[in-house]
Copies of this chain bind each other. A is one copy, B any other.
Amino acid sequence: MSGVNTVALARRLADVRRQSMALAEGLSAEDCQLQSMDDASPVKWHLAHTTWFFETFVLDGQAGYRAFDERYRVLFNSYYVGVGERFARPQRGLLSRPSLDDVMAYRRHVDEALAQALRRGPTPRQAELLTLGLHHEQQHQELILTDLLHHFSVNPLAPAYRPAAAVASSPPRPMRFVDHAGGAVEIGAEATGFAFDNERPRHTVWLAPYALADRLVTEGEYLAFVEDGGYREPRWWLSDGWDAVQRLGWRAPLYWREEAAGVWRRFGLLGLQPLRTDAPVCHVSYYEADAYARWAGARLPTEAEWEHAAIVALAEGRAATGTLLEDGRFAPQPARPVADGGLAQLPGDCWQWTASAYLPYPGFRTDEGAVGEYNGKFMVNQMVLRGGSCATPRSHWRASYRNFFPAGARWQFSGVRLAR
């Protein structure tokens, strides 16, 4: 088949698959089995499920392919109803068998079959699904880190994934707002090139004039909200948010710990660390992001505002990238300098909650078959995040990328960019 660059695809496949293994380095089989809550899966499960995805959508039915273990079809299906039964999500941490070693052998088995398929020359549909599988695995690479941080957070020993010394912090540079005139603009992915179905079709939206902050809100700024009694004052909060604050006893972002009165530390992949006045606040819910914005006399941007500003900044060379997975720093970092009128942390450091609910674009169509369950069926009760984080693979990001989580979710690398 002509249109596919098989060599490039094979190299990219090898790179992405290798990266997953690299993330698991230094983790024991016990670490990889942890499941601290229903929403977060064990590392072992992520390593197996991404492999299952390739096996199910690319290899199954192909001449000569023999499944590694028929029983894995149910064990490592996540939510694809069209593919059949699934093992209950909250019990993923209860699978001591297959062992981590078994899962590694499974990965090798599927890697070899994929390599062979690529050597034989894939059909265009296979190449398409392989590419989807790569992006799917990159999504799970972010989840491997996100989930592991939560798993470790319940251990009183506070294990560090990648131990690091604390860094002295300095005041952040002032936050500035970049103006946009609005009007009829286009957002969404172009018809060609890889994108998830939920990023399409490209379409027109009408924007009122707006301004977007040129960097994320910092831990120091957020601490001022905490110290001002932000978590005790209902007027800053949406009703559901205030309910969460009271029901769940929220007093600060998810991984902040008050070790003495007014003395906070933050648990992260680098271990327990002091707060940094200049690093972006992370692991806040939509409710907290929204409450902070109201307290600060601002608001959260819509996803269309965010994407339009990003397109403009990228086109004009006024966008600075923040920390992404390849930087190997595994924690949000202070914003890098950016030209006047530019936007820092675009993408990078933290996902940024938007004021937009996750809904289909006008004319949205899901993919055919079980793969079509990828995005569309989640389009209710979630808010969109934009931007990417320190756990997002660089090659996985696009300006049109739509991430989405329920308004109360805090275990993602999620932060705050203000708008007016």
Contact = CB atoms under 8 A, between A and B. Distances in A.
A249 to B, nearest CB: 14
Given A156-B75, A156-B87, A30 B239 contact: no
A28 B74 contact: no
B235 A206 contact: no
Interface in A183-233: 184, 203-208, 210
A170 interface: no
B95 A155 contact: yes
Contacts of A149: none
A341 interface: no
Contact of A94 (B36, B379, B381): B36
A381 B378 CA distance: 13
A58 interface: no
B154 A380 contact: no
Interface stretch (A3-11, A356-364, A409-417): A356-364
Given A30-B100, A239-B378, A151 B206 contact: no
B407 A239 contact: no
A377 B151 CA distance: 33
B30 A33 contact: yes
A168 interface: no
7 contacts: A30-B33, A93-B93, A96-B159, A97-B155, A242-B377, A356-B359, A380-B407
A328 interface: no
A271 interface: no
Contacts of A383: 380
A36 to B, nearest CB: 5
A103 to B, nearest CB: 11
A240 interface: yes
A96 B239 contact: no
A217 B239 CA distance: 33
Contacts of A91: 36, 154
Contacts of A157: 71, 75, 97-98
A297 B218 CA distance: 47
Interface of A: 28-31, 33-36, 71, 74-75, 79, 81-82, 87, 91, 93-100, 151, 154-157, 159, 184, 203-208, 210, 234-235, 237-242, 286-287, 290, 355-357, 359-360, 362-363, 377-381, 383, 407
Contacts of A98: 157
A215 to B, nearest CB: 23
A96 B154 contact: no
Nearest to A33: B30
A377 B380 CA distance: 19
B28 A99 contact: yes
Given A379-B238, A381-B240, A99 B30 contact: yes
By Cβ-Cβ distance, the 4 closest A-B pairs, closest first, are A357-B357, A30-B96, A206-B206, A208-B362
A247 B31 CA distance: 32
B71 A380 contact: no
B241 A156 contact: no
A30 to B, nearest CB: 4
Nearest to A379: B238
Nearest to A85: B156
Q: For A75, A156, A363, which residue has the most chain B Cβ atoms within 10 angstroms?
A: A156
A44 B314 CA distance: 53
Contacts of A290: 380
A234 B81 contact: yes
A32 to B, nearest CB: 8
Contacts of A97: 30-31, 155, 157, 159
Nearest to A360: B355
Given A28-B99, A94-B151, A96-B155, A378 B33 contact: no
Contact of A239 (B82, B155, B377): B377
